[in-house]
């Protein structure tokens, strides 16, 4: 069985959130996938010497943004040229740590535009999903290489905009890479290789799990500023794509990686169970996805502080065996004819390090196929499909989701533009 997808290569905030477990753009362009062979695992670049330094700007300098900026600097192949964050004190703190000149530390909603014009060659976007499509498109329009956090959008129009931006980047000979970690791990890759080598026989069903303790959800203030601190925005669907889209997406992405296809339908239920909620994100969901070939995919998500152990996992059941692809723990495969197990180690950091090295390699060696784009878009659309089906308690098809093309709006009144 050949995969449709190539191998891609969260300080408190997102690290605790994720490590709670330690084309055009028309619908017809989404009706098919291009078959791609899996890449070899990315090799982490040594400390140097490097072919050249890439002038990098980092947009979004909070928890993960500042942390991943430090990884870019540690890589050695990047010149930390500029930073931008809505909050000037956040941009200054990050810029100071990176040695960025004060003149190239930008703030307010439009700070990213100044960063794009500051002389950077590449930009890393570590911003809430709502802002990602607009900023990614602007970066591609400016002729820059783009490194994006997930999820790449919060709604269907945004996801389609990312797909178009990725295609435009390839046409411009620019790199456009989305940072997912699970598919970069050698143990996970080996499990996938054995699955696709018919190590399990015919895949019968997939089960994914996304368990985390959630994020603080304080009362709303007169404008959106308070929701932009830390990971509070994850509690607002339009800002962060809901918990299924912001956290569970790692496991759902792994399911698409295994299946080599996108779900055709979803049905489910979801609800809000955290005490005193102020955002509309659902912290409990149960979704059943069905794929075009009949494959059944059950997903269970929970984001509650209830002593449940964090987990991001993808369990695969075949006619002759079972397998596990995981974010933290032991990746494994067991069947009548095959057996494999190996630890997934320090994936939160190691996966980002591998992706940063791959980004540098792709830019400097001229690899602009941008293989992560299609699956990152399919992954967020699958999460949106599950989110909408569960919130409405209906059976929803992929085709109808795309036709609806529902846009989510955020009230930016009172923010400094």
Residue 7 belongs to a domain: no
Predicted TM-score (pTM) of the model is 0.90
Residues 364, 232, single domain; the answer is: no
Residues 160, 218, single domain; the answer is: no
Which pLDDT score is estimated for 37? 31
Query: Which candidate, 86, 159, 104, places its Cα nearest to that of 95?
Result: 104
* φ and ψ of 206, to 5 deg: -125, 140
More confident residue, 119 or 2: 119
The answer, yes or no, to whether residue 17 has pLDDT greater than 70, is no
Give the chain's radius of gyration (CA, Å). 20
Residue 49 belongs to a domain: yes
Q: Identify the bridge partners of residue 82 per DSSP, sorted by sequence position.
A: 57
Residue 110 belongs to a domain: yes
Cα(190)–Cα(169) distance, integer angstroms: 30
Residues 91, 64, single domain; the answer is: yes
More confident residue, 3 or 112: 112
* CA distances for 107 relative to 59, 90, 268, angstroms: 10, 9, 41
Sequence-ordered strand ranges (E) for 167-307:
176-178, 203-212, 265-271, 284-290, 296-303
C-alpha torsion sign, points 50, 53, 59, 63? positive
Residues 32, 170, single domain; the answer is: yes
Output b/e per residue, 76-103; b: 16+ Cβ within 10 A. Answer: ebbbbbbbbbbbeebbbbbbeebebeee
Q: What is the mean pLDDT of residues 165-189?
A: 98
What is the DSSP secondary-structure string of 312-353?
EEEEEEESSEEEEEESSEEEEEEESS-EEEEEE-SHHHHHHH
Which pLDDT score is estimated for 198? 83
Which pLDDT score is estimated for 50? 79
Residue 339 belongs to a domain: yes
Residues 161, 244, single domain; the answer is: no
Residues 175, 308, single domain; the answer is: no
CA 163 to chain centre: 14
Q: What is the mean pLDDT of residues 375-380?
A: 97
Cα(185)–Cα(205) distance, integer angstroms: 23
The answer, yes or no, to whether residue 394 has pLDDT greater than 80, is yes
pLDDT in tens, 302-341: 999 999 999 999 999 999 999 999 999 999 999 998 999 9
Cis? peptide before 376, omega within 30° of 0: no
| Least confident window among 11-25, 107-121, 164-178, 353-367 | 11-25
The answer, yes or no, to whether residue 170 has pLDDT greater than 70, is yes
The answer, yes or no, to whether residue 51 has pLDDT greater than 90, is no
More confident residue, 38 or 366: 366
CB-based contact 74:102 (threshold 8 Å): no
Residue 260 belongs to a domain: yes
Residues 226, 113, single domain; the answer is: no
Residues 87, 140, single domain; the answer is: yes
Output b/e per residue, 252-270; b: 16+ Cβ within 10 A. Answer: bbbbbbbbbbbbbbbbbeb
The answer, yes or no, to whether residue 11 has pLDDT greater than 90, is no
What percent of the chain clears pLDDT 70, i.e. is strictly above it?
Answer: 88
Residues 102, 122, single domain; the answer is: yes
Tally of domains within the chain: 2
Q: Say whether 301 sits in a helix, a strand or coil.
A: strand
Residues 156, 168, single domain; the answer is: yes
Residue 95 belongs to a domain: yes
Expressed as residue numbers, the domain containing 391 is 185-346+379-404
Average pLDDT value over all residues in the chain:
90
Q: What is the mean pLDDT of residues 18-41?
A: 36
The answer, yes or no, to whether residue 43 has pLDDT greater than 60, is no
* CA distances for 50 relative to 43, 54, 294, 370, 416, angstroms: 14, 10, 48, 22, 40
- The CATH number assigned to the domain holding 222 equals 3.30.360.10
| Least confident window among 198-207, 379-388, 403-412 | 198-207
Residue 2 belongs to a domain: no
| Least confident window among 7-16, 41-50, 89-98 | 7-16
| Least confident window among 5-19, 149-163, 240-254, 360-374 | 5-19
Residue 152 belongs to a domain: yes
The answer, yes or no, to whether residue 44 has pLDDT greater than 60, is no
Residue whose tokens read 């974010």? 327
Residues 274, 194, single domain; the answer is: yes
CB-based contact 270:282 (threshold 8 Å): yes
Residues 40, 67, single domain; the answer is: yes
The answer, yes or no, to whether residue 4 has pLDDT greater than 60, is no
């Amino acid at each position: 069985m050949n995969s449709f997808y190539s191998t891609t290569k969260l300080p408190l905030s997102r690290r605790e959130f994720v490590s709670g477990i330690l084309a055009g753009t028309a619908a017809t362009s989404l009706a098919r996938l291009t078959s791609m062979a899996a890449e070899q695992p990315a090799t982490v670049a040594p400390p140097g010497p490097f072919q050249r330094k890439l002038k990098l700007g980092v947009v979004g300098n909070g928890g993960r943004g500042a942390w991943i900026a430090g990884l870019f600097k540690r890589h050695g192949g990047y010149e930390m040229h500029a930073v931008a964050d809505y909050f000037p004190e956040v941009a200054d703190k990050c810029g100071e740590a990176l040695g960025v000149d004060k003149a190239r530390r930008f703030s307010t909603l439009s700070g990213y535009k100044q960063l794009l014009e500051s002389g950077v060659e590449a930009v890393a976007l570590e911003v809430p999903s709502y802002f990602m499509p607009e900023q990614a498109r602007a970066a591609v329009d400016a002729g820059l290489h783009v490194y994006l956090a997930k999820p790449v959008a919060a709604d269907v129009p945004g996801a389609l905009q990312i797909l178009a931006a990725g295609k435009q980047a390839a046409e411009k000979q620019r790199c456009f890479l989305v940072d997912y970690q699970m598919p970069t791990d050698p143990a996970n890759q080996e499990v996938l290789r054995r699955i696709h080598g018919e190590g399990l026989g015919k895949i019968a069903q997939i089960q994914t799990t996304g368990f985390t303790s959630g994020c603080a959800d304080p009362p709303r203030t007169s404008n959106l500023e308070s929701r932009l601190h830390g990971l509070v925005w994850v509690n607002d669907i339009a800002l962060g794509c809901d918990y299924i889209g912001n956290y569970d997406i790692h496991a759902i992405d792994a399911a698409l990686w295994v299946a080599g296809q996108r779900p055709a339908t979803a049905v489910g239920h979801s609800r809000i169970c955290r005490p005193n909620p102020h955002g509309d994100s659902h912290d409990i969901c149960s979704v059943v996805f069905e794929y075009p070939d009949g494959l059944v995919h059950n997903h269970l998500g929970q984001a509650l502080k209830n002593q449940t152990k964090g987990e991001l996992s993808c369990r695969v059941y075949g006619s002759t065996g079972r397998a596990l692809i995981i974010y933290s723990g032991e990746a494994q495969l067991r069947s009548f004819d095959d057996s494999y197990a190996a630890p997934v180690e320090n994936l939160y950091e190691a996966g980002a390090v591998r992706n940063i090295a791959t980004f540098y390699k792709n830019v400097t060696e001229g690899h602009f196929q941008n293989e992560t784009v299609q699956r990152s878009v399919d992954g967020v659309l699958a999460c949106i499909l599950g989110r909408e089906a569960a919130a409405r308690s209906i059976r929803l098809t992929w085709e109808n989701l795309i036709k609806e093309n529902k846009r989510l709006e955020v009230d930016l009144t009172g923010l400094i533009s």
